[in-house]
Amino acid sequence: MDRVYPEIQTNLQENAGVRRSSFLQRSRREAWVAFSFISPWLVGFLLFIIGPMLASLYFSFTDYDMLSAPHWVGLQNYIRMFTDDPRYLTALKVTFKFVLFSVPLKLAFALFVALIFNRNHRGVGLYRTVYYLPSIIGGSVAVAVMWRQLFGGDGAVNHILQWFGLTGTNWIASVSYSLWTLVLLVVWQFGSPMLIFLAGLKQIPSEMYEAAAVDGATRFTRFFRITLPLLSPVIFFNLIMQMVDGFKAFTQSFLVTQGGPLDSTLFYAVYLYEKAFSHFEMGYASAMAWILLVIIGLFTALIFKSSSFWVYYESEGGDKS
Amino acid sequence: MKSALAKSVVYHAVVIAIGFAMIYPILWNIVSSLKPEDEIFRKAASLIPSRWVWGNYAQGWKGFGDYGFGLFFKNSLIVTVLVVIGTLISSTLVSFGFGRLKFPLKGFLFACLLVTIMLPQQVTMIPQYILFNKLGWINTFLPLVVPAFIGGVPFFIFLMIQFVRGIPRELDEAAYIDGASTYGIFWRVILPLMRPALATVAIFSFYWTWDDFMGPLIYLTDPEKFTVARGLQMFADPSSMTAWGPLLAMSTLSLVPVFFIFLFFQKYLVEGIATTGLKG
């Protein structure tokens, strides 16, 4: 499948009757050239990814405050996390809840908007720009300032509710609602999954819908029998990416609610940051990071495993019609 | 015919209504930055101030103490421009290597690259901090900028590899037969064709860096070195916050470069996201 230079070289060399050893030399040189191209990444990968990962694994078994040398404590950090740190368990619970609600809501909304935009109406380009706008400002501080204001006790949202005769509370400062304001913030920034859905929708051949319409399928049936199955690989991709983003979410909580009130929005990453950079418990924070990695790995594996039940690949049943 | 028209009207009405709700927070932010202080809360939901207070911008620009937003913007610009340049250089080189050349362990290394896209930065953050601390790089731009030059964001490399793979091989073969070296093929054939991918990566990397908060939070401690995000956060600290008008003015201003780039280059952005999303 891959036609690469060494192969062209082989052909040329065979024609010229060049000896094999010179080919080996060539291919070795070829490899060196290739490594010189990928070296920026390779160096970065070893220096900033693999090295730190191993270091972090080691630190996770130590007690380390950066002032004195790390000293080995075995599994103690891991044990303490689950048996002697209620705030850790809170962070875990809050993060799970956040991921569980924000990811499906965001994907559903992204798909809904993509369906709206997958039509040849006039002005769709402009609408798409407007809908995408919130997503480009991402986790910036400006958004946090905005959100704190909008959902504050005296904020715009409550003023709008008043027009309808409803009284709001201070959403940001409320133990029961603060997490939902963050879920809303994340759902509001649905832009990238939406664009990916849109690209996926454009790949679905229109003949399928036409054939289904001839057969008398309702819009509802068409969506569930054609759109969803054919889009399932894209849903799969978006689901994994958003799940990972959800688990490592930091700025939303850190900037909008500072983890509060009463730890009701204490994201995993926020608590980890606090442990590492306010308390300088580097060992404990490293252990937390590894558990986070394990959680993300488990969820990824779970989604991959489940994919055989719901992700449709054309090669499996494409020749049915 | 009539029902088609009615449908179209309903469609546009619904899309505009949702769209308005979508950008309301942004409009609110912009308008509130021009409101007199007392109206920001008293008439919080309104999008029309009783009078336009441009002074909020002048006052906000001055910042606080010795640190004005001019300084923060300059810092952000330095960091962002360097990161964009570094990312472009490193990811084009690497993507050519993965997309075109053959070398031992290629499959394995490519798998490593893919896995790192999903790797939470928390796993590497602490040792990286310790490393940069030992190097004496804390409170300089180096921890923010140097990683971009060596590898940087694997997502960008992946995006570029996908793009390089899409360029017809006949082009390099022709150049090869004409006597071009591998470097020549990269420089003369592939690089000029990569322009759309370069644009996508440049834009993404611009606004991720511009918006980035965690990096500056960890590595910059002296207000002299703060980026806009960090300066704004210091400005917005609820415990010391008094002047909402100037704060909102500066937070609006911090979004201007991002909006500007988005509006002018959104074509590349949309294409970039669509390609990576699907060819993966």
Taking the C-alpha atoms of residue B20 and residue B14, their distance in angstroms, rounded to an integer, is: 10
Q: Please list every residue in chain B whose beta carbon sits closer than 8 Å to the beta carbon of residue A8.
A: 173, 176-177
> Is the predicted pLDDT of residue A298 greater than 70, yes or no?
yes
> Is the predicted pLDDT of residue A110 greater than 80, yes or no?
yes
pLDDT score at B29: 87
Question: Domain extents for chain B?
Answer: 2-55, 60-279
Residue A301 touches partner B, C-beta closer than 8 Å: no
* CB B37, CB B244: distance < 8 Å: yes
Say what the pTM is.
Answer: 0.86
* CB A102, CB A157: distance < 8 Å: no
pLDDT score at A56: 93
**What is the mean predicted confidence (pLDDT) over B254-270?**
81
> Is the predicted pLDDT of residue A66 greater than 60, yes or no?
yes
What is the chain B residue with the closest CA to A43? B150
pLDDT score at B273: 61
Instruction: Give the homologous superfamily in CATH for domain B60-279.
Output: MetI-like (1.10.3720.10)
Q: Count the neighbouring beta carbons within 10 Å of the beta carbon of residue A220.
A: 8
B122/A130 CB distance under 8 A? no
> Is the predicted pLDDT of residue B79 greater than 90, yes or no?
yes
B235-250: pLDDT as tens digits: 877 666 567 888 888 8
Instruction: Give the homologous superfamily in CATH for domain A76-317.
Output: MetI-like (1.10.3720.10)
For residue A214, give how far its alpha carbon lies from the nearest alpha carbon of chain B (Å): 20
Q: Give strand pairing partners of B67.
A: B64
ipTM of the complex, rounded to two decimals: 0.85
B54-68: pLDDT as tens digits: 888 888 888 777 788
pLDDT score at A88: 94
> What percentage of chain A reaches a pLDDT higher than 90?
38
* CB A136, CB B258: distance < 8 Å: yes
Q: Count the neighbouring beta carbons within 10 Å of the beta carbon of residue A150.
A: 25
What is the chain A residue with the closest CA to B230? A141
B19/A144 CB distance under 8 A? no
Measure CB to CB from residue B11 to each of A52, A121, A145 and give the nearest one. Answer: A121
B150-190: pLDDT as tens digits: 877 888 898 888 888 888 888 888 888 888 888 888 888 88
Confidence category of residue B37, pLDDT binned at 50, 70, 90: confident
For residue B147, give how far its alpha carbon lies from the nearest alpha carbon of chain A (Å): 7
Distance of CA B202 to the CA centre of its chain: 8
Residue A199 touches partner B, C-beta closer than 8 Å: yes
Question: Domain extents for chain A?
Answer: 5-59, 76-317
Of B145, B244, B160, B154, the C-alpha closest to B197 is: B160
3-state secondary structure chain A: CCCCHHHHHHHHHHHHCCCHHHHHHHHHHHHHHHHHHHHHHHHHHHHHHHHHHHHHHHHCCEECCCCCCCEECCCHHHHHHHHCCHHHHHHHHHHHHHHHHHHHHHHHHHHHHHHHHCCCCCCHHHHHHHHHHHHHCCCCHHHHHHHHHHCCCCCHHHHHHHHCCCCCCCCCCCCCCHHHHHHHHHHHCCHHHHHHHHHHHHHCCHHHHHHHHHCCCCHHHHHHHHHHHHHHHHHHHHHHHHHHHHHCCCHHHHHHHCCCCCCCCCCHHHHHHHHHHHCCCHHHHHHHHHHHHHHHHHHHHHHHHHHHHHCCCHHHHCCCC
